[in-house]
A and B are shown apart, each in its own frame.
Chain A
Amino acid sequence: GESVGLHLPTLSVQEGDNSIINCAYSNSASDYFIWYKQESGKGPQFIIDIRSNMDKRQGQRVTVLLNKTVKHLSLQIAATQPGDSAVYFCAERWSGANSKLTFGKGITLSVRP
């Protein structure tokens, strides 16, 4: 069946360093992938997404990499800041328009000052 999982439950980084959060997915039919950030007591916020016809996409300080060969997704955050401390979720969609997203368990990013 479909599943989305994250390799590590927590990640602690020094302020100013780069962060890399990894995610594995198992459904080769997935064609859309997305990263959300969730701060304590709040709803998930969109960070960046990527479609299966791409292998890299960049935003402001964030980059998402997609490796379809090994079904791996990663989120890179440059110059990590205290405001980046949150739980990060990857999610996938495999059924086209307006279908549900399937989420992984989440990883906590803690930024040390």
Chain B
Amino acid sequence: NAGVMQNPRHLVRRRGQEARLRCSPMKGHSHVYWYRQLPEEGLKFMVYLQKENIIDESGMPKERFSAEFPKEGPSILRIQQVVRGDSAAYFCASSPPLYTGELFFGEGSRLTVL
């Protein structure tokens, strides 16, 4: 049973480039959550998606950030024109439908902006 798979695990970008982070949820899970973690800080909620639908994007920055979870394929968190402040670990979590328990987290994607 594969867990939540994130790739790439490490990504280096120069300022102004684009970063794309991918997340494949656990088998049977149709709900995906993205969190950002700055060094020495907690996890900040960014966005919650179901297949082809954004449910809650209250934690997403207004500009440069977008997320999708298409009918087929992984969920993608896209950051355009990256700045140094975007350097962080981005974690994806998933859960099955109608579930009130824990979120299952991946190992994260660590973005470094030079």
Contacts and interface: CB of A to CB of B under 8 A. Distances in A.
Interface of A: 32, 34, 36, 42-46, 49, 89, 93, 96-106
A102 B58 CA distance: 12
Contacts of B102: 34, 46, 49
Contact of A103 (B42, B55, B101): B42
Interface in B67-114: 91, 95, 97-108
Given A34-B102, A98-B31, A98-B100, 16 more contacts: A32-B100, A42-B108, A44-B43, A44-B105, A46-B102, A49-B101, A89-B42, A93-B100, A97-B99, A99-B48, A100-B33, A101-B33, A101-B103, A103-B35, A103-B43, A106-B42
A42 B9 CA distance: 10
Interface string B7-44: 00000000000000000000000010101000001111
Contacts of A106: 41-42
A53 B37 CA distance: 31
Contact of B45 (A43, A97, A102): A102
18 contacts: A34-B102, A42-B107, A43-B4, A43-B91, A43-B106, A43-B107, A44-B91, A46-B102, A49-B101, A49-B102, A89-B43, A97-B98, A98-B31, A98-B100, A102-B45, A103-B44, A105-B42, A106-B42
